[in-house]
Amino acid sequence: MSIERGKINSQQLLFLIAGFVQGSILLIDFTVGITEHQTWMVILAGLAISAPVILSYVALAKRFPGMNLVQINDMVYGRFLGKAVSMYYIFFFVMTLSFNIRDVGELYVTFLMQDTPFIFFLVVFAATCAYAVTKGIEVLGRVSHLFVVTGLFVIISTFILLIDQMDFSNFLPLFELPFIRIFQGIHIVSIIPFGETVAFLMIMGRLNKTEHAVKRTFFGLSIGALSLLVVAVRNTAVLGRTQTIWTSPSFQSIRLINIGTVLTRMDFLIGIAQTVLIFFKCSLFLYVLVVAVSQLFGLKSYLPLVLPLAGIEVIVAATVFQSPVDHAMITQNAGIIYSVPLVFIFPPLSLLIAKIRGLPKFERGKET
């Protein structure tokens, strides 16, 4: 018996993943500081590295149909070790979600509404996410394509509006930075937008048909990666050398839009896009977190946990970091280290163990 009854189809999975990856659009802003004008290739390399791992997530989900990550862990690693692994995942979800919620607050406090208290944004944003989560995965899946379309619209329209200010010689020389910085960039990119899709192991069990899951997952990832790529190319081409000094290169490049002095001051476009996309990502993450926790404690319904956990997230987001600088440093350094095993090691390992022990067959026999 599962705690979620809603079902999603594989087309919705595509948009869920695409929207989830697009939700990391702010990430580019702090990768740029490391990889400068080579960010675009870092994104592609990150996708190339994480794609096989993500496909192993799909394989795992296919092997354990109808089950979520916590259930899989329990089955693969046994009762106690499985719970420990799940706890580790829940810690990861808590931290990542708080990073993302904080991003929204910082976005608004820095750019749009400087005089408003930071905590206000966190509370209202988390409350809205909580409202979305109470509607269940089915509703999130149903609206996913709207978020992706909004994101694509803003990304493409800003690209077109800025095309006359682009200088593509900003990408030259192609290879200049020391390899260690590129490696660091690839590491960040492969974990933060792409590796975080490990959260989808909590969702993929709700697929009604797993036939096209691999293809759709990959397609969704590609849409997300393409969005990030377009943003990176736009920022580098427009801002050139200066992109490394701004807090948010995306924001500054949008502020440069000036078409015939009429189409100008378009900051709201990026404000809307980033809020909406991070909202989608945070709602998914909150959903995943809530379901994981309720599964861990064997609750019948996850609804009672939504508000308390959202509240905890707000507190974590507001207290763990002291400043945006602190936030960026923790995410860049600690964040990507502790999530390596969760993203790159556990899922393939689970798949391997499941294969050796022949687990899903045993379980299927038990269920039927």
Partner 1 sequence: MIPNKGSEASLIKKITSSIMIFILCFFMLFALTGCLGAREINDLEIVIGMGVDKDEDTGNILLTAQVVKKDTAGRTSGDASGGGDGKAFWNVSSTGDSIFDAVRQVTHKTGNRLFISHNQAVIFGNDIAQEGLQEYIDFFLRAHEMRPTALILVAEDRASDILDAKPETEKFPAMNIAKLVDTYGFTSHFYEVNMKDFASCLMSPTTAPLVPLVSIVQEKDCMDIYVSGMVAFKKGKMIGKLNHDEVRGLLWVLGKVKSGVLIVPSPDEQGKAVLEIVRVKSKVTPEIKDGSIVMHIKIKEESSLSEQTTAENLATDKAFEKIQEATAEVIRQEIMAAIDKSRELNADIFGFGEMLHKKYSSKWKTLKDNWDEIYPTIELDIDVETKIIKTDLLKKPVSQSEEEK
Partner 2 sequence: MFRYIFKKIGYLSLINKHMLQNTKPGKNNNKPISPDLEKNLEVIKGILHSSDLAVHEFNFGHDRRFKGALIFIDNLADKKEIHKNILQPLMYDALLLPMDMDFTQIDTIWKSLISMTDNVKVTLLGDLLDSLLAGAAILLIDGSKEALAIKAGKRDARSIEEPGTEAVVRGPREGFIENVNVNIALLRRKIKDTDLCVEKYVIGEKSKTDVYIVYLRSVANPKLIEEIRTRLNRIKIEAILESGYIEQFIEDSPYSVFPTVSNSEKPDKVAAKILEGRAAILVDGTPFVLVVPMVFIESFQSVEDYYARPFFASAIRIIRFLSYIISTLGPAIYVALTVFHQELIPTQLLISIAEGRERVPFPAILEAFLMLFAFDLLREAGVRLPKPVGQTVGIVGALVLGEASVQAGLISPIMVIVVSATAIASFAVPAQTDSGTILRYIYLALAGIAGGFGVIMGLLATLMHLASLRSFGTPYLWPVSPLNLSGIKDVFIRMPLWTMSKRPKAISRNSSDSCNQDPGLMPAPFKKGSNDSK
Tell me which stretch binds partner 1 (CB under 8 A): 27-35, 255-263, 283-291, 292-300. 255-263
**Of the residues 30, 64, 121, 219, which one makes contact with partner 2 according to CB under 8 A:** 121
Q: Which amino acid is at 153?
A: F
Determine, following the binding rule CB under 8 A, whether residue 264 of this chain makes contact with partner 1. yes
**Residue (146 or 256) nearer to partner 2, CB:** 146
**Residue (132 or 238) nearer to partner 2, CB:** 132
Number of neighbouring beta carbons within 10 Å of residue 348: 15
Give the whole-angstrom CA distance, residue 42 versus residue 48: 10
**Of the residues 79, 209, 241, 265, which one makes contact with partner 2 according to CB under 8 A:** 265
Give the whole-angstrom CA distance, residue 340 versus residue 346: 9
Q: Which amino acid is at 323?
A: S
**Of the residues 75, 276, 289, 354, which one makes contact with partner 2 according to CB under 8 A:** 276
Give the whole-angstrom CA distance, residue 144 versus residue 19: 7
Give the whole-angstrom CA distance, residue 27 versus residue 7: 30
* Residue 252 binding target from partner 2, partner 1, none, CB below 5 to 8 Å by type: partner 1
**Residue (110 or 208) nearer to partner 1, CB:** 110
Determine, following the binding rule CB under 8 A, whether residue 135 of this chain makes contact with partner 2. yes
Pair 301, 3: CB distance under 8 Å: yes
Determine, following the binding rule CB under 8 A, whether residue 153 of this chain makes contact with partner 1. no
What are the structure tokens assigned to 363, written together?
Answer: 């379980």
**Residue (59 or 127) nearer to partner 2, CB:** 127
CA dihedral 70, 60, 11, 9 (to 10 degrees): -60
Exposure of 35 in the CB half-sphere (CA atoms within 13 A): 32
**Per CB under 8 A, which of residues 77..96 are in contact with partner 2?**
none
Determine, following the binding rule CB under 8 A, whether residue 128 of this chain makes contact with partner 2. yes
Determine, following the binding rule CB under 8 A, whether residue 240 of this chain makes contact with partner 1. yes
How many residues are listed for the chain in this entry? 368
Pair 350, 64: CB distance under 8 Å: no
Could you tell me the smallest distance in angstroms from the CB atom of residue 155 to partner 1? 20
Q: What angle do CA 151, 156, 160 make, to 5 degrees?
A: 150
Determine, following the binding rule CB under 8 A, whether residue 124 of this chain makes contact with partner 2. yes
**Residue (141 or 195) nearer to partner 2, CB:** 141
List the x/- string, 160-189, binding to partner 1 by CB under 8 A. ---------x--xx-xx-------------
* Phi, psi (deg, nearest 5) at residue 258: -155, 95
Give the whole-angstrom CA distance, residue 203 versus residue 218: 16
**Of the residues 53, 70, 94, 132, which one makes contact with partner 2 according to CB under 8 A:** 132
* Residue 12 binding target from partner 1, partner 2, none, CB below 5 to 8 Å by type: partner 2
DSSP state of 261: T
**Of the residues 48, 78, 120, 364, which one makes contact with partner 2 according to CB under 8 A:** 120
**Of the residues 5, 81, 149, 242, which one makes contact with partner 1 according to CB under 8 A:** 242
**Residue (86 or 243) nearer to partner 1, CB:** 243
Pair 40, 229: CB distance under 8 Å: yes
- 271-306 burial string, b = 16+ CB within 10 Å, else e? bebbbbbbbbbbbbbbbbbbbbbbbbeeeeebeebb
Pair 258, 264: CB distance under 8 Å: yes
Q: Where are the beta strands (DSSP E) in the chain?
A: 258-259, 263-264
What radius of gyration do the chain's Cα atoms show? 20
Determine, following the binding rule CB under 8 A, whether residue 125 of this chain makes contact with partner 2. yes
Residues that bind partner 2 (CB under 8 A): 11-12, 108, 112-113, 116, 120-121, 124-125, 128, 131-132, 135-136, 139, 141-143, 145-146, 261-262, 264-265, 267-268, 271-272, 275-276, 279
Residues that bind partner 1 (CB under 8 A): 110-111, 113-117, 120, 169, 172-173, 175-176, 239-242, 245, 252, 255-256, 258, 264-265
